[in-house]
Structure 1
Amino acid sequence: MRIIIIRPCCIGDVMMATAALKAIRRHYPEADITFAVGGWSRQAIEFHTDLNHILDTGQAAMPVKRLGGFWNMVSALRLGSYDIAVSLVRSPLMSLAVGLSGIPIRAGISSGWRGFGYTHKAPTSPADVRPEAQIYLDVVAALGINTEGCYVNLPVPPEATAYISDFLTRRGIKGPYLVVNPAGGSNPGMAMHSKRWPPESFAQVADALAKAYGWQVVLLAGPDDSGIVNTVRSQMQAHTTTFIGELSFPQIAALTSQAALYIGNDTGLTHIAAASGAPTVTVFGPSDPARYAPYTPRALALWKSVALDQGGVQQTQQMQWDWTRDGIQPEDALQQIHTFIETPGNTQ
Structure 2
Amino acid sequence: MSPPSGIDAQFFPESVTQIFCWHQGALGDLLLAGPALTAVSQHYPEARFIGVGKPALWDLLAGTLPLESIWEGGEAVWSGLFQEQGGFSSLLKERLTGIDLALVFSPRERPGFLARLVEGGIRHAVWIPSFPAGGSEHVTAIQARRLRELGIAASPGPFRLRLEPEAEELTGFRPTDRILALAPGSGGPAKNWPLSRYYEVARALAWEAGLKVVWLAGPAEERILSYIQGLAAAQGQKVWANQPLSRVARLLARVQVYLGGDSGLTHLAAAAGTPRVVALFGPTDPRVWAPLGEQITVLTPPEGAGPQRSLEKLSTAAVLAEIRRFL
Aligned-partner Cα distance in 2 for 1:41–1:147: 23
Write out aligned runs for 1:42-191 (5 A).
Answer: 42-46=58-62, 48-58=64-74, 67=83, 75=92, 79-93=96-110, 95-102=111-118, 103-109=122-128, 126-148=133-155, 150-158=157-165, 161-162=166-167, 165-169=168-172, 175-185=177-187
2:256 corresponds to 1:260: yes
Pick from 10, 26, 30 the counterpart of residue 26 of structure 2: 10
Q: What count of residue pairs does the alignment treat as equivalent?
A: 302
RMSD: 3.5
Unaligned runs of 5+ in 1: 112-123, 186-191, 310-318, 343-348
CA gap of 1:227–1:217, structure 2 versus 1, over 3 A, is: farther
Distance 1:39 1:78, change over 3 A: closer
Partner of 2:5: none
Structure 2: gaps spanning 5 or more residues: 1-15
Q: 1:175 is aligned with what amino acid?
A: D
Within 1, Cα distance between the matches of 2:213 and 2:87?
A: 48
Deviation at 1:36, TM superposition (A): 2.2
Aligned partner (choices 228, 236, 239) of residue 239 of structure 1 = 236
Q: How far does residue 16 in structure 1 lie from its aligned partner after superposition?
A: 0.8
How far is 1:328 from its partner?
Answer: 1.7
Matched residue SS, 2:293: coil
Q: Which residue of 1 aligns with 2:8?
A: none
Mapped to 1, the partners of 2:283 and 2:98 lie a distance apart of: 42
Cα pair 1:10 1:40 within 8 Å, conserved:
no
Q: Tell me the CA shift for residue 88 of structure 1.
A: 2.4
SS of 1:135's equivalent in the other structure is: helix
TM-score with structure 2 length normalisation?
0.78
Of residues 210, 214, 232 in structure 2, which corresponds to 1:214?
Answer: 210
Partner Cα distance (1:207, 1:75) in 2: 54
- In 2, the alpha carbon distance for the partners of 1:72 and 1:328 equals 53
CA deviation map 1:232-260 (0-9, x unaligned): 45457743111112x21111110001100
TM-score, reference length from structure 1: 0.74
Please state whether the residue corresponding to 1:250 is helix, strand or coil.
helix
Q: Among the aligned pairs, what percent are the same residue? A: 25
User: Is residue 180–residue 217 contact of structure 1 (8 Å, CA) maintained in 2?
Assistant: yes
Distance 1:64 1:197, change over 3 A: farther
Residues 272-306 of structure 1: CA deviation (Å, up to 9, x unaligned): 12111113222112111111111233212121244
Match for residue 3 of structure 2? Answer: none
| Residue correspondence of structure 1 range 223-302 to structure 2 within 5 A | 225=221, 228-232=224-228, 234-235=230-231, 238-245=235-242, 247-278=243-274, 279-302=276-299
Sort the Cα spacing of 1:46 and 1:71 in 2 relative to 1 into closer, same or farther, 3 A: farther
For residue 99 of structure 1, what is the amino acid of its counterpart? A
Instruction: Call closer, same or farther: CA 1:76–1:90 in 2, change over 3 Å.
Output: farther
Deviation per CA, 1:78-130: give whole Å up to 9, x if none: 7143322222212343x32113322444432469xxxxxxxxxxxx9622312
In the TM superposition, residue 19 of structure 1 has moved relative to its aligned partner by 1.4
Q: In the TM superposition, what is the alpha-carbon distance from 1:308 to its structure 2 partner?
A: 3.3
Distance in 1, matches of 2:88 and 2:241, equals 35
Distance 2:93 2:26 in 1: 20
